[in-house]
């Protein structure tokens, strides 16, 4: 049985945190609770190390923090939406849509496939609008799965 990339419990429609670390911790805790990450601190350190190489903010209010980590048990995608926005280093300002991609240490291809699929969808206004307007976590997870799962 393969694990779904994103499920309802990995979606937060109203992130409380206002800085990158708080938001990443919130999303990472969801991955831990779902059994997809075994060591929260190690995973967050790996995400932060990746952020230090190059910010993961994209134009249009998007953040795609991601990493490969030995703490990850299955390729996973957690999603959070922030009303106030969170700084992920994009030139045009804070991210309102945040996708945390977690890949197992040996999972280069899966991680890049998800990243590429997500990037292609995020240039479409209708994809972003659906994410901004979603009111149901289960529906949002299903929509993202259908759009980005190869």
Torsional sign, CA 150, 50, 31, 124: negative
Please give the angle made by the CA atoms of 90, 137 and 15, to the nearest 5 degrees.
Answer: 45
Please tell me the distance from the alpha carbon of residue 146 to that of residue 38, in angstroms, as a whole number: 27
* 106-126: b (≥16 Cβ within 10 Å) or e: ebeebbebbbebbeebbeeee
- Confirm whether 66 is a catalytic residue: yes
Please give the angle made by the CA atoms of 120, 122 and 104, to the nearest 5 degrees.
Answer: 70
Out of 36, 66, 68, 111, which one is annotated catalytic?
66
| Residues forming the active site | 66
């Amino acid at each position: 049985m393969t694990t779904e990339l994103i499920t309802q419990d990995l979606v937060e429609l109203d992130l409380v945190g206002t800085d990158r670390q708080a938001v990443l911790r919130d999303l990472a805790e969801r991955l831990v609770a779902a059994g997809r990450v075994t060591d929260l601190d190690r995973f967050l350190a790996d995400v932060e190390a990746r952020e230090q190489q190059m910010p993961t903010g994209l134009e249009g209010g998007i953040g795609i923090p991601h990493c490969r980590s030995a703490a990850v048990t299955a390729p996973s995608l957690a999603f959070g939406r922030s009303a106030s926005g969170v700084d992920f280093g994009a030139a045009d300002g804070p991210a309102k849509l945040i996708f945390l991609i977690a890949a197992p240490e040996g999972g280069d291809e899966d991680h890049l496939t998800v990243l590429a699929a997500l990037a292609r969808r995020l240039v479409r206004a209708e994809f972003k609008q659906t994410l901004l307007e979603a009111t149901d976590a289960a529906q949002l997870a299903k929509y993202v799965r259908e759009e980005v799962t190869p």
